[in-house]
Structure 1
Amino acid sequence: MPTEDHQAFVNELVQEHGQRLRSFLARRLHGAGADLPDLVQEVYLRLLRIPDVQTIRSPRAYLFTVAIHVLHQHRLNLASSPEAVDIAEALPMLQARSGDNPAEQVEAWDRLEGFYEVLGELPPKTYAVFVLHRQYGYSREEIASQLGLSYAMVKKHLAQALVHCRRRLDAME
Structure 2
Amino acid sequence: MNATVPDAYHELISLYLRQWSVLRSRLKRQTGSHELAEDALQETWLRLSRMKGGPIDIRDQHAFILRVASNIAIDLARRENRHGGRCISDEAVLAAIEDACPSPERVVIDRDQLRLLVLALSQLPARPRRALLMNRCDGLTHREIAARLGVSESMVARYLVQALRHCRDHFRDQH
- CA radius of gyration, larger in: 2
Q: TM-score if structure 1 supplies the norm length?
A: 0.42
Q: TM-score if structure 2 supplies the norm length?
A: 0.41
* Structure with the higher helix share, 1 or 2: 2
